Structure formats: structure tokens, C-alpha cells
Chains A and B, each alone.
Chain A
């Protein structure tokens, strides 16, 4: 199994959804944008003590990550959601930052 998130997501899109390589590239691009927006939303919500938005952002991230074939990272998003709901926004922020690192190669696809 490739350990890079981008490679793993690519392999998943090719295999599970039978996308062609260009289609998978397009999907990764959209995914990268959505993940970036979601992560920013999560971190901002954590900084501004917006528990509800933080949990919603984490939930949305979880769905995207599952559909990218990244269940381990989706689990971290799930944890972020759980701690956000418990008002532990510092822990949610840490989870968000972890995801940022783990998704680095994928997020890099996003146009500057």
C-alpha cells in the first residue's frame, strides 16, 4: 500500500470508482480544495470557539476522506468531531493540524 495520501487516494479512485486517470486527477483536485477549505474552517472554528462549526467541519472532512479511500485519516476527523462536541476545541485543533500534515501531498495539488 502506498503511504502517501495522494497516491493512496489516486489508487482508490481508480480501483473503487473505476475512474480513468484524468478523471481521478480532477477528483483529487476538487478533493484537495474541499479538504483545504474544510481544514481551514475547522481550525478557524477552533480558534473562535465555534464548537458547532468545528464539529460540522470535522464531519464533512470525514465524509470526504472516506470517499477518498483514507479511512485512517477519516478516523482522525471523527476524533476531531468527537472532541469538538465535547467542547475540547484544543484537541480538535490538534487533530486538524495532524490532518494538515498527513494530507500535505494531496493539499499541494490545490492551485496556489
Chain B
């Protein structure tokens, strides 16, 4: 960088001819001395001053009182994009300092006339730059001898400021149009910003809200904080009181506002009024509960006479009826059976809808389940001349944890559909362990698939096939009956069992495949059992189990004895009436070998099952007691549980039901580690 010492214009007031005094800057004084004292300045001093000027980040120029540019540094020339020769000797206007509000020429005149003495600063533009201009008059013994013009590039600062302003403007816009009330408070909980939605919800306008403590303004009550205040957004439900005294339920998000150092300087909150939604939800839940109760009651009310119709139809069919009469009664019986299926479907569907379908996972013997399903469906398949086959992947463990009742229900529904819609060929149920499984110790990815060689489903009908009350074709309900709920129920049950839902692949004329995948755990400590031929061994070892059966009916006793034998229960004792049952339980309880489970008929001579249980519990005996009843009265379940019973069975009980209960009870009480 160089700074000239040779002005191009002759100037009587040249600073170089006087002993200059800087107005307020050592640097300015140096420049002036440089200009005024050319002859006396040594080369080294000039060099130092040149270096100083070159090192400056600001542009510097010196102008005579007449407005002639006599000195300028390289920085300024670079910003002007001009050469030194082109600028020196030019008028002040060449420095591009004019703005709408500030004109350097006018200030020069004021300084020259002695009207103004103080330096002047203003903002301007120089090319693409935002600059701050400072006009520094040089006075010598009170006389104006020239003007130092310094230019500082403030473009980055202006950019930052504009960026902040843009961001602020954007945030203001967001706050204004947000669909939620927004309130910003400072560290003292004083409201500093609100938006229009806040005004709409709370009824407080800006004059009433700003400057007020938020807690006093809204008298808020909130649910407890779920997580500690670590700066994350807290989502809570609570209540506020509006200006007109209404109590609103709000859903609120709140987060602290922090400064650069991380200190909390305030808080931003947004909330929405969910009072109407909550009210609607409560009403909907109540309506749903009523609907569910209505359906359950209706189903019970319809089923009872329906059972009578079906039973009596059966009896009539055994009598000597004329062929026409026989046909009529058979139609009546068949229609009743169909109606029962529909009733059960509707009841299941309504239970799922209100989330009341209970899922009871338990260790389940896959082979047994598949065989049971096959046995149930074989007659229907035979009737239609179809082959029903079961394919079982040998890599599947024998015992897995699932709700066997629901899984069976799904498979029976799929098989029933497949048989219904297949005129010839076969229906295959397969259970496969998927290869995609990576971890050996994780849950077993098990795919159940029902394939048929039926008529198939057109692609356009596949999309809605799982919707409730939808059937692939309206003619189906005419020809095959049904509510159209079966697949929908199965789909939802698959999801309740932890699957992703039912899937279907179908080709018209070639058949369909319905399948689903479940992640099934192996029971803890349950070793894989190799599949064997039927009859199937039990899924758990009950050899160490001691069971008491309290039942006065000899046939029911006989049946339970057989079932428990088949399940491998090691020790079974029997009581023929209530007092005997009570005595046996209390006596054995004092020994080292108390019963693990008691099956208790509810109606027995002497003392009924509920009373026996009550007394057993009063005596401090906590042995699981399973109620057996033929009563099936609505509140039996409640009475049994209130008396201290662990489970409840309506006759007829089946071997699988008893097995499931034993497994769950044994898992809870853990007798000598005998169960698988």
C-alpha cells in the first residue's frame, strides 16, 4: 500500500504547510503530519505510516477544505474500484459518500464556515457494501484545514442484523398464525408476548395480559410432569380459568428459553383448548360402553331363546315328521345355527371395537392346536369333497406362547372361508418359521397361511376385503351368508396378538392365500419338543401337581378325573360335597404337600363352592381355586372373584381350557418346577 505525498492540486491550505493538530485521533494527526511535513519526514517514518495505513481495515481519505481529494489509502481505492491517479485531485463527490439524508459536501461547507466542529458519522452504501462513514474535521488553531474521511465496512454486521430481523419477523408471523395459543414469559413468569389465539381462548387482550404474571393470569392446574425439566418440550394436560371464569381443559407444550450461556431467560408455551374434544371423547366412550353393554345383553337375551329353538328343533327332528315338516324344522334349526354364528361375530367385533377383547397368552402346543383345528374342519371339507391338509415346519418349536383360543378362532375363520369358497381341490393350513429371522434367541417369527384352490378374489375387491361388513361380492352374502365381519375380526385379532394384520394374495380362478405372521416367544425354560404322532402329550408337565376336585356330580367327577389324567396331573383327590372339600383343603394345607389347584363346583350339597372358598380364604389358604358352574348367570364371575376364586369355568369345559388354566396357575405358583 502506498499513500501519496504529492497532491495534484495546488492548495493554499494544504496541511503540509502548517503544523497540524489532530482533532481527536493520533492516527489522523500522523496522516496530517505526513501531508504537511513532506520535506522534513524521513523515509523510515514515511514507511511506518504507510504500513499503518495499509494495515487498516478501513478506507481513509484526506480532503482539503475546498473538497479536493489529496490522500487516499489502498483499501478505499479497492472499494471504489478505481486507481489512485483517477481519484487524487478529484472533488469529494468522487468518494461516493452522498446519501439521501447525509451529504458530505454540505458538512464540508459547515466545517469550512466554522459552523460545525464535531465529527459526523452516518451509514451509507459503497458499491455492494454497507459502510459507516465518519467525517473528521482537522482543526489547526481553530481553523479548519481539511477533512479526514474514514470508511468502515459494516456489511457483515448489517447482514447479521437483517438476518435477525428476518428471523424475528418470521417468528412473529408463526406466532400470529399458529393454531395454538402462544405465550412467552420472562424468567419472572411475566407475560411478554401473546398471540391472537391466546386472546381468543383466554379472553385476555394484550393490554390485560402483557406485564402480568402468567400463573396469576390463568390460574393453571396441570397434570404432574412426566419427565424432569431437562430443556425438552413438556407435553401436559391441564386446566385454566378464562377471563370470564370458564374452566377449560388444555393440552400444553412448554419449553424453556435459554441464552447463549444456557441460562434460562424465560419460557415459551403453546396450548390448545381440548375441552370439547375431551367432552366428546367421554361421551363417545360412554356411548360405546352402552353399545357394548347393549350388544352383550342383547346377545345373551337372543341366545337363550335361540338355544331353545335349536334344541327343540333337534328334538322335533327325531320325531316322525312328514318330509315337508322335516324340511321346515331342519331349515329352522339351520337358520338358528347361522344366527348364532352371526351373534358371536357381532359380539366379538363390538368387544374388539371397545378394546375389551381379552388376550390371554399362555404356552401353547402348536401341534395340538393345528390338529384341533383340522379335526373341527375336516367334516366340512369332507362334505364338499375337499382335501384338508396341514403343513407344519419342523423348525418350529413345539411350544410357543400365544393366546390359543384367539389363534384358533382366526385359523378356523380362515379355513371356514376357504372351504366355503372352494368348489374343488384342496385347502392347506401351514405353519412356518420364517427364514428372515436373524436371532436364534429372539421371538420365533411364525407365519400361518391358509391356501385354497378356490375361485379367487378380483384385485379391485382385495382392498376392502378386511373392512367390517365388506364382502368381496354382494352375491356372497346372498349365496353363502355371513355378516362380512369374519375377516375383519380375524385381522384385528391378528393385530391384538402382536401381528401386523392379515394379508391376502389371490388370483382369480386359481385360488387365494390368507396369511399372517406372529412373533411368538418360547416359554421360559421350555425346551423344544420334537413333534410326535397323536395322541399328543400335554404341552406342560403337570406330574408334580396336586389337584383337588370338589364336585358332587359323579359323571362330572369322572370326566375331570379322565381329563386330568390325560393332562398328566400327578395327584388328584376328590370331594363329594362342600364340607368335605373345606375339610380336605384345610387339613392338607397344614402338611408339606398342599394342593396346587382346586376345581370347585359352585353348587354342592352342604356348602356351596363360593362359601367354601370364602372360608378357605378366611383360614389364610391362598391355593388357586377354579370355579366350575353350569349356571352361567351374569354375575357369577364377579361373585367368584369376590369370594377369592382365581378363575371361572362355565360347563362344558374342554381339555384345552383346563390345560390353559393349569399352565397359567402353575406358572404363577410354580410347584416344584415341574411345568415346562
A: which residues have CB within 8 A of B?
Answer: 3, 12, 15-20, 23, 26-27, 30-31, 33-35, 56, 59-60, 62-64, 66-69, 71-76, 79, 98, 101-102
Contact = CB atoms under 8 A, between A and B. Distances in A.
Nearest to B534: A18
24 contacts: A3-B317, A16-B652, A17-B654, A17-B655, A18-B566, A20-B535, A26-B562, A27-B558, A27-B559, A30-B554, A33-B555, A59-B603, A60-B553, A62-B630, A63-B553, A63-B651, A66-B651, A66-B652, A67-B559, A67-B651, A72-B312, A72-B315, A79-B308, A102-B318
Nearest to B628: A63
B566 A19 contact: yes
A2 to B, nearest CB: 10
Which residue among A18, A56, A62 has the maximum number of chain B CB atoms within 10 Å of its CB?
A18
B555 A64 contact: yes
A19 B556 contact: no
B307 A75 contact: yes
Interface in B235-259: none
Interface string B517-558: 000000000000000000110000000000000001111101
Tell me if B's interface is mostly helix, strand, loop or mixed: helix
A33 B630 contact: no
Given A3-B317, A17-B654, A19-B566, A71 B559 contact: no
Contacts of B655: 16-18
Interface residues of B, number: 32
A72 B307 contact: yes
Contacts of B318: 3, 102
A72 B314 contact: yes
Contacts of A72: 307, 310-312, 314-315
Nearest to A72: B311
Contacts of B535: 18, 20
B568 to A, nearest CB: 13
B554 A34 contact: yes
Contacts of A23: 562
A68 to B, nearest CB: 8
Contact of B630 (A34, A63, A102): A63
A15 B310 contact: no
Contacts of A16: 652, 654-655
Contacts of A79: 308
B143 interface: no
Contacts of A63: 553, 556, 601, 630, 651
Given A30-B558, A64-B556, A69 B314 contact: no
A98 B315 contact: yes
Contacts of A62: 630
B9 interface: no
Contacts of B554: 30, 33-34
Given A59-B603, A62-B630, A76 B311 contact: yes
A62 B601 CA distance: 13
A67 B311 contact: no
B376 interface: yes
B469 interface: no
B654 to A, nearest CB: 4
Interface in B638-659: 651-655
Contacts of A73: 311
Nearest to A69: B652
A15 B376 contact: yes
B311 A34 contact: no
3 A-B pairs with the lowest CB-CB distances in the bound complex, closest first: A72-B311, A63-B630, A66-B651
B375 interface: yes
B562 A27 contact: yes
Nearest to A14: B375
Contacts of A20: 535
Nearest to B630: A63
Contacts of B652: 12, 16, 66-69, 71
B555 A34 contact: yes
Which residue among B307, B317, B535, B630 has the maximum number of chain A CB atoms within 10 Å of its CB?
B630
A67 B566 contact: no
A67 B555 contact: yes
B462 interface: no
Contacts of A67: 555-556, 559, 651-653
A19 B311 contact: no
B370 interface: no
Contacts of A75: 307-308, 311
A49 B562 CA distance: 37
B315 A30 contact: no
Which residue among A16, A20, A71 has the maximum number of chain B CB atoms within 10 Å of its CB?
A16
Contacts of A35: 555
Nearest to A77: B630
Contact of B553 (A17, A26, A34, A76): A34
Contacts of A60: 552-553
